[in-house]
Structure 1
Amino acid sequence: METAVDLDLAQVRAFIQAAEVLHFGHAAEELSISQQALSKRIARLESTLGRRLLDRGGGGVRLTEAGRRFLEPARQALAAADLAVAAALEAHRPLRIDVWGHLYAPMRTLAQVATGEPRLELGHGRDLPSVITALSRGDIDAAFGRVHAPLPAGLTHRLVRLEPVDAILHAGHPLANATAIRPAQLRDGVLWTPGALHRLDFLHRFATAFGIHEHAEGTNLGLDHFLADVAVDPRRFSLLPADLPLPPHPAIRSVPLIDPTPLYAWSLLWRDNGGHPLLGTLTNTLVTEAERNRWLEHDSTRDWLPERHSSDAGTSATSCGP
């Protein structure tokens, strides 16, 4: 029988930081300790485990095979310890939630539930991978956006809103004065994207599904800049939520999409090993609002979703996943 090993969390934290940046000096700066102190903590951890976790040499810092095996469980253990401390000392601190999703605005959904308890503290993740990293580290309690890839073990999500999107067109576009547009009618246009198309999963799947081969891309600098970039070329179009209030712009038209109507799926994402004591309150509030506002209603013969999942309320599967 193996002897149980009691880990020193300061040593574990030092190892994780060094393993993530692969540089002792930078890791020490992040932890606000000296490089010598960082080295001693990692050396003591390696002594406790009886395994070398990091190789230090002229070529830099590298994880050993034991270090690679240890890293992810160590992250989970540290996150669990941080959660335990938070539960004991900060039960009433705000829920830390990151949102992501370029010009689709999840804040408009959260604003409808962000009164009273639980109090929310919002941050902005760059994309889904960066949000997953923040969740795994315990830097945030939950996240809100479109889940579009297999999730790592230990994370759960629940679909809470399906949001129709409209076509945003240059006023000179041939379809700008239509009362409604079928997505396939846009195949000869130029899809404008606020970022690299391959990083914008929904827009990428939309272009692939409806045969749109030309696109132009820029930087996400907010809604006004977004509209100005669409207005550069009469062939340009993009997609925005149907209920998003648009600022006046003489060269822009918003036209509903039908046959099918694309739906953007929003999910709440969190660690499935517990978490902030008020996370359940937020989940229940979002579910109640979804029912009251009919956010999850859809017709598979009328609407388009990039992916579909089997229904299983209360688990990571969703009724018609993102």
Structure 2
Amino acid sequence: MRDVDLDAVRTFVAAADAGRFQDAAAELSITQQAVSKRVAALERKLGVRLFTRTARGAVPSADGQAFLPHARALLRAEERALASIGPGRRALRVDVIGRRLGPAAVLRDFHRAHPGADLDVVTFPDADTAVDAVRSGTVDASFRAVTMPGRRLPGEVGAVRAFDEPVQLLTGPSHPLAAARAVTPAELARHRLWMPGLVTGTESAAYYDALAAAFGLTIEITGPDFGAEPLLDALAGSPSLATFVGDRTRLVWPVDHDLRRIPLRDPEPVYPHSLLWHRANPHPALTALRAHLHSAHPARTDTGTWVPAWAR
């Protein structure tokens, strides 16, 4: 069955349904001679006679009757395959830096506002991979802090500051700042800040390096990164360790951990998430996502926030 001509299969089904080659030709907008040629070519390919000619037209032979349901299935498969890649038919594929982080939360907000939008959420390990995926069409969009130092985007990749996520301090209950309603970044200079998940050279590391330099902080990245749960366990039992989290980051911990999320103020550090997309991508859900971000997360122009110089 390799290399079977689907036009010939479609012609066979039309002729079987119509009962006459002339009627099938009219339905398909081709000549009766073309119908005969296609059916004959399919019969040669299959090695059987598909029709029995009668005075009233053509009826499927025994082999034709056996092949007919499979022929219909082939045409339905063709329709599904074409529909899956039609404009707006396939899911909008979006890269987020992590499924528990701010971009994923914003994407969930978009889906609640547009429940009919089908989404396929993926995660790539770094910004370079994400940019390449947008450029090649592997994904439709990506949330990244792509304004980090030294980054130049390909001309066909668009980028816009999508939303600014406030950064918070996370501590255990015995930390000296645990009862604070808010703290300034400068107050953290004498405290231990631990972020074992930061990887040198990534967009997150670039942001927190700039934050540390701006306010005289020391951020430790030593020790193995075992994930969120061991980090939360360590914070809960420590009177000195603290870490940074985005305010939209989803974290769940046991009740007895009693961890504290403390806002930062004067100024408020915000993480500058951007949305990347291919400028030639026509997916309607991408247009809807960009419009949603523009309306739900307008650019912040207040002087009470801080971002690295390279993100301004």
TM, length-normalised to structure 1 = 0.60
| Superposition CA RMSD, Å | 2.9
Partner of 2:152: 151
Q: Contact 2:166/2:270 (CA < 8 Å) preserved in 1?
A: yes
- Is residue 310 of structure 2 the alignment partner of residue 297 of structure 1? no
What is the CA distance between 1:184 and its match in structure 2? 1.0
Pick from 276, 280, 287: which aligns with 1:273?
Answer: 280
Q: Show the counterpart of 2:133.
A: 134
Amino acid at match of 2:133: A
- C-alpha contact 1:196 1:217 (8 A) present in aligned 2: no
TM-score (norm 2): 0.62
Determine the C-alpha separation between the residues in 2 that align with 1:196 and 1:133.
20
Structure 2 Cα separation of the partners of residues 288 and 180 of structure 1? 28
Aligned to 1:53: none
Paired with 2:241 and 2:234, the residues of 1 have a C-alpha distance of 9
User: Identity over the aligned pairs, expressed in percent?
Assistant: 27
Change (3 A) 1:244 1:236: same
Q: Deviations over 1:289-322 (max 9, x none)?
A: 225xxxx33422x11112366xxxxxxxxxx5xx
The alpha-carbon distance between structure 1 residues 157 and 214, as it changes in their structure 2 partners (threshold 3 A), is closer
- Deviation of residue 270 (structure 1)? 1.0
Find the counterpart in structure 2 of residue 124 from structure 1. 123
* C-alpha separation in 2, matches of 1:133 and 1:238: 31
Give the one of 211, 219, 224 matched to 2:216. 211
In the TM superposition, what whole-angstrom CA distance separates every residue of 1:42-86 from its partner, at most 9, and x where no partner exists?
xxxxxxxxxxxxxxxxxxxxxxxxxxxxxxxxxxxxxxxxxxx99
State the 1:160 CA deviation.
2.1
Q: Residues 95 and 119 of structure 1 are in contact (CA less than 8 Å); yes or no, is this contact kept in structure 2?
A: yes
1:257 aligns with 2:264: yes
Deviates more, 1:130-139 or 1:147-156: 147-156
**One-letter amino acid of the structure 2 residue matched with residue 134 of structure 1:** A
SS in 2 for 1:297: coil
Contact (CA 8 Å) 1:141, 1:275: kept in 2 or not? no
- CA gap of 1:204–1:86, structure 2 versus 1, over 3 A, is farther
Please tell me whether Structure 1 or Structure 2 has the larger radius of gyration of its CA atoms: 2
Show the 5 A alignment for 1:106-255.
Answer: 106-114=103-111, 115-149=114-148, 150-153=151-154, 154-193=156-195, 194-199=197-202, 200-217=205-222, 222-231=227-236, 233-244=238-249, 246-247=251-252, 248-250=255-257, 252-255=259-262
Which of the two has greater helix per residue? 2
The answer for unaligned runs of 5 or more in structure 2 is 1-80
What is the distance in 2 between the residues matched to 1:174 and 1:203? 22
Aligned residues: 221
Give the equivalent residue in structure 2 for 1:105.
102
